[in-house]
Amino acid sequence: MRAGKPRVGLITGGCGGIGAALCRRLAADGLTLAVIDRDTASAEALAGSLPGSGHIGLGADVADEAAVETTFQAAEARLGPVDVLVTAAGVLMLRPDGSRNPIAETPLVEWQRTMDINAQGTFLFARAYASRITAPRPGGRVVTISSVAAQLGGYRSSSAYIASKAAVIGLTKGLARELAPFGVTANSVAPGLIDAPMLRLSLDPAQDAQAAANIPLGRIGTPEDVAGAVSYLVSDDASYVTGNTIDVNGGYRMQ
């Protein structure tokens, strides 16, 4: 790690249920953060609520190539080089009643928007980060947020979502291989059922006990469970861990 100066982290989707927990944890770990989300005011408010000082919030659509580059440059101009990238922005498009479209009925626009945000959004930030790694970067880390849906086929998600999160896992492995010569690791965290807004699109809290019955650890996960795994992956302790997908799912799926 760089001695003296706190590492700079950039987190996409930082205003979401899981994203905000990631921001709180990484700020408490001592990183200075650029919080990225769709809405500038929300990102600034979240950044201002974090422990420590110097955090900033920036609004951007992660699917927009030009906006991603502008945002990355703005973060660097204010905080310095980005050491840690965490990509948590994502969408799950369901029908109004919370059910999924079967493939046979999936509109192309649903497929494209899901891929644009989940897969392309992760790619664009990964590319912006990787293009700046031209020399060894001690403490350099990328953590992508994928999903157990990519591994299981998903019970509560659409096939577009499943495919987009599978793309995230593959991209992360490619990134791990390319950034390894610079001492930078890249890993993915695959959450299971987490008590955060995306799960609540399809699971009413009244159904939690029934859902938890299929989880060996017997409960729905929390955003802080995901944050703990991300905190580990960006720490010194994980400097020899790369190209992995870390499951945070209570044993819902075991490899």
Ligand X SMILES: NC(=O)c1ccc[n+]([C@@H]2O[C@H](COP(=O)([O-])OP(=O)(O)OC[C@H]3O[C@@H](n4cnc5c(N)ncnc54)[C@H](O)[C@@H]3O)[C@@H](O)[C@H]2O)c1
β-pair partners for 11: 35, 86
Q: What residues from 186 to 205 belong to the interface with ligand X (CB under 6 A)?
A: 191, 193-194, 196-199
> Residue from 11, 23, 63, 176 that binds ligand X (CB under 6 A)?
63
**Whether 161 is catalytic:** yes
Q: What residues from 77 to 96 belong to the interface with ligand X (CB under 6 A)?
A: 88-91
List C-alpha distances in Å: 191 to 27, 173, 220: 21, 17, 11
Task: Select 82 or 133, whichever has its Cβ closest to ligand X.
Answer: 82
Q: Please state the φ and ψ torsions of residue 33, each to the nearest 5 degrees.
A: -115, 145
Task: Select 133 or 230, whichever has its Cβ closest to ligand X.
Answer: 230
Position 233 contacts ligand X (CB under 6 A): no
List C-alpha distances in Å: 224 to 20, 63, 73, 173, 227: 9, 26, 29, 25, 5
Site string for ligand X, 4-43 (x = CB under 6 A): ---------x-xxxxx-----------------xx-----
**Total chain residues near ligand X (CB under 6 A):** 25
Task: Select 79 or 91, whichever has its Cβ closest to ligand X.
Answer: 91
Decide if 76 contacts 82 (C-beta within 8 A).
yes
Position 150 contacts ligand X (CB under 6 A): no
